[in-house]
A and B are shown apart, each in its own frame.
Chain A
Amino acid sequence: MKDTLQKFFKIDRRWIFLLLTVTLFVPIVKPIGLPNKSISQATTRVYQNIEKLPAGSFVLLSLDYDPSTRPELHPMAMALVRHAFAKNLRVGVVTYIAGSTGLIEELFARVGKEYNKTYGADYVILPYQPNILAVMTQMASDLFGIYTSDRNGAPIGGMPVLKGVKSYKDMSLIVCVTGTAILDYWVAYVGDKYSVPVAGGVTAISQPGYGPYLQTNQLKGLIGGMKGAAEYESLIKQPGKGTSGIDALNLAHLLVLILILTSNIILLFVKYF
């Protein structure tokens, strides 16, 4: 008996790999359809901050993530843009990560079409800038001082989307979606300094670190990880990759727990019987 259990313990780990593949791949092909139940307060706060803006307000999105965090952050960004477009807000996009430009193009090519939005009138994508702090400080006085053209070199001066938008004073909200420390910069160098509301979207790994900012309201809300993306999608009632992602993760999470429990129960058994 003991020996059989021991053997079970030393199982070829490729069986475990296979098990994970199945539990994660099957729900992608055939979603379980468990609704995302809880919605955290932090995510709701982001939603409310956008919801309360009047149509035509200008929102600045700082989308700073690259493909390595795409599964978590892309759905968030997409949900945010959808929400902004549905509310007829004007959207400006900046980025400080070289790898994110392709993802931004992809996002707006898709969502822009869904909502019939015109580039230049409803949204604008500004080019990548490497020096974060210099740009952030400059935008406090005059954003045209650093951004003269969009990412394709077209002049942004006459674009209707930027009409009457010159500095942070003319922006209603800044949302930064990132897996890096750039959100900290927005909070410390822009939000606190020029009193613009700043909200964020971050990966599950960095989420715990922002608790203090949320508590002090330096952050007006936070979307965390794929769970946060799913929550936001259910808030705007447009299930997307976040919702299907969290659905697919259901079984995999359970698998981890079952495996930890099994191995420890076997261990107890081997030890005491």
Chain B
Amino acid sequence: MVDTSIIAGGWLAAGLTIFIFSFLYRDNPFFKIAEHLYLGAGMGWLFQVSVNSVWIPKIWEPVSKGELLVIIPSVMGLTLLTQFIPKLSWMSRYGFTFMMGYGSGLAIPAGLSTDFMSQIAGTIKPFSLLASLSAMDIFNALLVAGGAICVLFYFFFSVEHKGHLKKVSNVGIYFLMVYFGAAFGNTVMARFSLLYGRFDDLFTFSGSNYFYATQVVLACMVLYFLLHGFFSGKKEDAAGEEAA
């Protein structure tokens, strides 16, 4: 049922996963190997994506069909690479300035509309439905509007925050804190879900159909740490922890 490539994959995945987790105990060569592999594999994945979704369809195919306009951005892109040659590195400015100009030109109106006007509209819109709102809804709408004003005032730098103004900006901080707290809580859940995903995979690979990949790799790691600890003595061990 389970063919060899899947079993081999299971062993590889279980191994790499445990190698990276082993860093939590202390830095070790296996983690370093996995980490360097990750660096290379990540770059490799991005490279194949850009070859298959940009270079071939967006540069190679148009050029071979005679659409030569794409050569301009390709040249601009190539100038970026002059960064590595100090004497010519000024050429890279042609590419950079194009990217910065395009990005800035796009960001300004988009920022004004989505983060600026829409947010004002979103804050005052509930009040237009006043007739159909319950007392709680009105309270909430007021809280959102008032809270947003206080937070904005906290970030207002042109006047000294003294007396009553100080109170306004203090209220702002508390709204910020609620938001940070909520973000903290959500992040906890998200990261744990990820960890659960990895553990669940490890559990899958620990089955007999994978020939107990997880257990074997884990046992090898433990053995390595025991032997390493035994031969290099206790002293280094204590120093290793905080570096982790």
Contact = CB atoms under 8 A, between A and B. Distances in A.
Do chains A and B directly touch (beta carbons under 8 Å) in the complex?
yes
Interface of A: 12-14, 17, 20, 24-25, 28-29, 68-72, 98, 130, 203-205, 207-208, 212, 225-227, 241, 245, 248-249, 252-253, 256
B193 A72 contact: yes
A252 B192 contact: yes
Contact of B49 (A12, A71, A98): A98
B5 to A, nearest CB: 14
Given A24-B196, A204-B193, A14 B25 contact: yes
A181 B113 CA distance: 17
B53 A227 contact: no
Interface of B: 24-25, 49, 53, 122, 182-183, 186-190, 192-197, 199-200, 203, 241, 244
A208 B24 CA distance: 31
A241 B203 CA distance: 13
A81 to B, nearest CB: 19
A229 to B, nearest CB: 9
Contacts of A225: 186, 189-190, 193
A56 to B, nearest CB: 35
A203 B203 CA distance: 23
A204 B190 contact: yes
B188 A253 contact: yes
* Max chain A C-beta neighbours (<10 A), residue from B182, B188, B193, B197: B193
Contact of B196 (A98, A204, A212, A245): A245
A98 B53 contact: yes
Contacts of B187: 205
Contacts of B190: 72, 203-205, 225
B25 A24 contact: no
A245 B199 CA distance: 11
Given A205-B187, A248-B199, A249-B193, 19 more contacts: A14-B24, A24-B192, A25-B199, A25-B203, A28-B196, A28-B199, A70-B197, A71-B194, A71-B196, A72-B190, A98-B49, A203-B190, A205-B190, A208-B182, A226-B189, A226-B193, A226-B196, A249-B196, A253-B189
Contact of A17 (B24, B53, B189, B200): B24
A28 B197 contact: no
Contacts of A249: 189, 192-193, 196
Contacts of B244: 14
A12 B196 contact: no
Given A24-B192, A71-B194, A212-B122, A241 B186 contact: no
A253 B24 contact: no
A130 B53 contact: yes
B211 to A, nearest CB: 18
A45 B25 CA distance: 45
Given A24-B199, A71-B196, A98-B53, A204 B186 contact: yes
11 contacts: A14-B25, A20-B195, A71-B196, A72-B193, A72-B194, A208-B183, A226-B196, A248-B196, A249-B193, A253-B189, A256-B188
A26 to B, nearest CB: 10
Given A204-B186, A208-B182, A225-B189, A14 B241 contact: yes
Nearest to B194: A71
Nearest to A179: B190
Contacts of B199: 24-25, 28, 248
A18 to B, nearest CB: 9
A5 B187 CA distance: 29
B193 A207 contact: no
A211 to B, nearest CB: 10
Contacts of B200: 28, 71, 241, 245
A47 to B, nearest CB: 21
Contacts of A72: 190, 193-194
Nearest to A27: B196
Name which of A12, A207, A226 has the most chain B CB atoms within 10 A of its CB.
A226
A72 B193 CA distance: 6
